[in-house]
Structure 1
């Protein structure tokens, strides 16, 4: 292989399913680069990343771990992304600024489907990526079957770069398919060259030919060489590998053991020689090469001592500490040395850095130049789980809203909205996602909260019409109160809402009091006989009377409430529950399970079809009561190895009766009694 001129600083994201070993791989890579003095272990709590209390408590990443290192004289930033699907917003944002991604997976064909969502994202955004099959030293590994299963979920061809050398059940080294050299693992140092075992020469030759044929699909000259039985020079093969990787045409495959330092130097060397640099990444994202200094924020953190930090990738030019920008003055510049922030005077092209105190800049936005044109930044993921919450201390509602706004700025897949019953509803990607947010409210902002299930926005309506008389008369010395009306109450078609009709003639109710009648009716409809808002009915004011002295707006408003209170029970009130249109996305082998989930939640299956653009996936369409959506994502993920998901929109209101309705009304009465 020819020598390679040094590259500008590059960024590599480590992604993959939960428990695949990404954080262990980060530790191994940092140790191999000499950035750390020893390899950290998750079980010992000595890792560079996952240092937050929330991550330590769960033995899992709950935010990106960013660490800088040098390998063979070149600078790298490694971004270890959370494996849990509940924190994938951070992963997607980090992938957008990475030059290359290493997809980490286990050598278990049954778990290959867990890699499908991230592979789909990488291909949709044309992010160059390679596969690292971790834990290859585990007993009973089935590398060939694993690769077949992984190819079934990858739109791009998987290209083996090496084959394993085994001694019994252990993998002790590998044969590089380009250089055709064999190596044995030496923990703590680079692998040593050994002779290719005779028993593997045939397997190596076949695997190398398969690799070359994959590359020839994108190189006519290489195809001609193969057809003429000419062995291409190694430099040509390396050039094709780098070009095809950068174009997201192939997915090179490596293997090893992060825990036991197997294959780590091989992976680092492949990244060094094949991964594109920041200029190619900027071009992929539609960022011009020329112009004023430009960086893109991919992660925001509100730190206790430094204030707001905007973790960013620099695409062009230089930034200096204290520099004045349109977004404000830079209040500190930091590079990650190992996993520790180190303050620096300036940063340049390719650097992954943190800008301090640029309060007006959000995740996904540009710093510096106005021509921020970055193509396809991921939209915030739609919410799948929710808690209603309130501050433990009364009067802290404003403080709570501000604290959650900061957390949502850090993670755009978190959101806060106000429910129909005055609740503050925190929405996110799952139960753990929201639990972590609540723990951060306490640890960072000293905000204790009480949580509960959000109130389902039931409604009420009527089935029958009636006419009713409402009179309010009160004499208490001086001016009294007098309001007298006759109204008709009638049902309307579903979705019509509330309609008020004035049919007063002859001035029996003066014009100035008619709006008060409507206001009184509307006030009553906010909480009907069952305790929920009343919809889909028409109230017609037909007649009434007044007193020249004692009538008032308040008197007619009260008369309207009296009339509605007497009339509604005569109209056969009925409870309505919100029904959502839900689309559940799962691998085809889980379609039947998804349908059983719908049926078990009082849902109506509308059908299923192949998911557009997702080979081997289905979409199940259904109607589901909103009351049954509370833990849907939890059950769906547990039955689909974590990859099932859904989207939803409100569709219609539907009558419910019997035990379900009785239970809802009883619970609502308890809530109102305790309010």
Structure 2
């Protein structure tokens, strides 16, 4: 449904990118609460895709329609909508803005032609804006900034843009300036077209004459825009130096070229809630968004293919659905696509997706964003081929290190298998989640990007899959070792009629340097313990070391079999295994057992103005600061390095984000085990329900 109500166009001028019938894919990105879903709703209303513009507050928008999004009044996953505008098709992907749900944005960016960054006049959100811009810059995605909530801004744009600029590696370039009336933005002046328009509530703007005062402001702002463009156009620079007004076609050509090359980020503004500024934004997207073929060339350099999978969904009734962008030949139901390893997957159903609704379609052309049914084994980020003649494509996997974990289990034993299957589907839908079966603690660990991220995951397990869950903090994988050595005899003797059981083993037990593990050896001479029974003693030793006197696995211990005896009739493998077990159990308490805790090497990434607070938080959690430095490639960010006990990392991210307006992240890797004594050891043993030796 093409819109015919706009009066703020470009005089019918159509660039190659605006040729009729093309399909564009555009991501709406920006910090949490900036108004992305409202902008999508305004676009849908303006293009006639919906009869009436919905409101996030009223809970009646096309986006954020899942139970979890409605429950928390925030985007928790990408939302798709397709519209027709002036004969072209546009697929918009409304991406979550919270740092905890950026995994969905990361997947979506692998298939878009351009991103609209939705921001507002809020200095607190600049670090979050920088996080998002870094993802766009790393992929060389062309981008424009839509400064939303202009009706609520209290500052002039000349003050707002310098505040936002540190988030971007390329300059923000104003394409419009507001018309002010009694301190309120009532319209805009287009700096490229040199035309003024007045806003109308949720309707197209209309052209008006500029006042002398506004014309003077327009000349000044336009010259500033042209100066920035001239930094990459020598001919334009000469024209400006000679005070020659450039032709409109030259200005538009530079705007398009420099946008697509990622040299500038044009800035538009408006109010999504009131539908202001939407028409001018759509016009710019129509003329300046690169074609799908340009996007495919960019993606192929990063491992992309003819079909790029951006998102995986598991529907209750339709099964698996892969949201994919088509870059190659048309795709139809029943077609086979090729994975990187050469195996084929069959498309079982082809769908258009609009919010929470999926409708069947016959075919998908190059540029289309569609749902492909039941591509078994195909993951988010995977790139598929259509023929063997195409080079194999690796795709772009979503990789976000988790920062928070919970242990989950089914309250009813009969649900354990269902829980395992549901978790697998959950991770397939959201690769920024991780599931681990911890062999040491026996717990199922669900890891994610923060409190809300894990809460939404649990709500989906309960609501979508009907699972009654028990949730607890993960157990810390403590271990224990010894400080002293001893020699002990383990004798297993049992007579119960017929053949008895007899095994006798003398072990030297001694500590090893930290990180050495468990060593078993023997110094048997004279056959006092027959060779065939020595492996059984070793098996008994290893089994007994699984749980020491403090109740944890024992590490960094050497056990040497030095002596023993046997019975020609009653000795057996099992008897000598029991002798090894008894020797360890009797000997370890004499060796001054000590509790060990895992220490991890942590890197915290944060805005520089929060570094002092981060250092204090880490130190308060028994962390050892190793140092900090500027984060490479990140203006105004630091990286803090520290060694921290794993037990202190449980809710660390909550405190870090509280100190950094919600943007800090950290990574950690195991470094070593360290002795834990005193009150911290007593507390750890108490939490684990153990008793100190």
Report whether the alignment pairs 1:328 with 2:345. yes
SS in 2 for 1:669: coil
Paired position in structure 2 for 1:167: 181
CA 1:561–1:430: 2 relative to 1, 3 Å: same
Report whether the alignment pairs 1:347 with 2:364. yes
Aligned pair partner of 1:530 in 542, 550, 558: 550
Q: 1:447 Cα shift?
A: 2.5
Count the aligned residue pairs: 669
Q: 1:119 Cα shift?
A: 0.5
Aligned pair partner of 2:96 in 79, 82, 91: 82
State how 1:101-250 maps to structure 2 within 5 Å.
101-138=115-152, 140-250=154-264
Measured in 2, the distance between the counterparts of 1:623 and 1:142 equals 46
Paired position in structure 2 for 1:594: 614
Report whether the alignment pairs 1:603 with 2:619. no
Report whether the alignment pairs 1:448 with 2:462. no
Paired position in structure 2 for 1:360: 377
Paired position in structure 1 for 2:506: 486
Q: 1:256 Cα shift?
A: 0.8
Please say if residues 31 and 125 of structure 2, whose CA atoms lie closer than 8 Å, have aligned partners that are also in contact. no
Q: 1:339 Cα shift?
A: 6.1
SS in 2 for 1:445: coil
Please say if residues 104 and 430 of structure 2, whose CA atoms lie closer than 8 Å, have aligned partners that are also in contact. yes
SS in 1 for 2:154: coil
Q: Decide which moves more: 201-210 or 406-415.
A: 201-210
Report whether the alignment pairs 1:92 with 2:106. yes
SS in 1 for 2:162: helix
Paired position in structure 2 for 1:573: 593
TM-score (norm 1): 0.96
- Residue deviations 1:524-575 (CA, integer Å, cap 9, x gap): 1111111111100111111011111111222212222221122111111111
Q: 1:142 Cα shift?
A: 4.9
Report whether the alignment pairs 1:460 with 2:480. yes
Q: 1:443 Cα shift?
A: 2.3
Report whether the alignment pairs 1:3 with 2:14. yes
Q: 1:165 Cα shift?
A: 1.1
Q: Decide which moves more: 537-546 or 389-398.
A: 389-398
CA 1:374–1:202: 2 relative to 1, 3 Å: farther
SS in 2 for 1:245: helix
Aligned pair partner of 2:331 in 319, 323, 347: 319
SS in 2 for 1:69: strand
SS in 2 for 1:38: coil
SS in 1 for 2:325: strand
Paired position in structure 2 for 1:543: 563
Measured in 2, the distance between the counterparts of 1:341 and 1:418 equals 35
Aligned pair partner of 2:57 in 28, 39, 43: 43
State how 1:619-658 maps to structure 2 within 5 Å.
619-658=639-678
Report whether the alignment pairs 1:16 with 2:30. yes
Measured in 2, the distance between the counterparts of 1:660 and 1:397 equals 34
Paired position in structure 2 for 1:411: 430
CA 1:148–1:425: 2 relative to 1, 3 Å: same
Measured in 1, the distance between the counterparts of 2:128 and 2:229 equals 27
Measured in 2, the distance between the counterparts of 1:316 and 1:566 equals 70
Measured in 2, the distance between the counterparts of 1:396 and 1:304 equals 18
Please say if residues 20 and 106 of structure 1, whose CA atoms lie closer than 8 Å, have aligned partners that are also in contact. yes
Measured in 1, the distance between the counterparts of 2:23 and 2:329 equals 13
Measured in 1, the distance between the counterparts of 2:557 and 2:255 equals 69
Q: 1:141 Cα shift?
A: 4.1
State how 1:389-428 maps to structure 2 within 5 Å.
389-419=408-438, 420-428=440-448
Measured in 2, the distance between the counterparts of 1:214 and 1:155 equals 14
CA 1:393–1:110: 2 relative to 1, 3 Å: closer
Q: Decide which moves more: 188-197 or 307-316.
A: 188-197
Paired position in structure 2 for 1:503: 523
Q: For structure 1, which runs of at least 5 residues remain unmatched after alignment?
A: none
- Residue deviations 1:52-75 (CA, integer Å, cap 9, x gap): 111110001111110000112211
CA 1:156–1:631: 2 relative to 1, 3 Å: same
- Residue deviations 1:178-199 (CA, integer Å, cap 9, x gap): 1111111012321111122322
Measured in 1, the distance between the counterparts of 2:586 and 2:558 equals 16
Please say if residues 408 and 446 of structure 2, whose CA atoms lie closer than 8 Å, have aligned partners that are also in contact. yes
Q: For structure 2, which runs of at least 5 residues remain unmatched after alignment?
A: 1-9, 339-343
Measured in 2, the distance between the counterparts of 1:588 and 1:325 equals 47
SS in 1 for 2:158: helix
TM-score (norm 2): 0.94
Please say if residues 79 and 355 of structure 2, whose CA atoms lie closer than 8 Å, have aligned partners that are also in contact. no
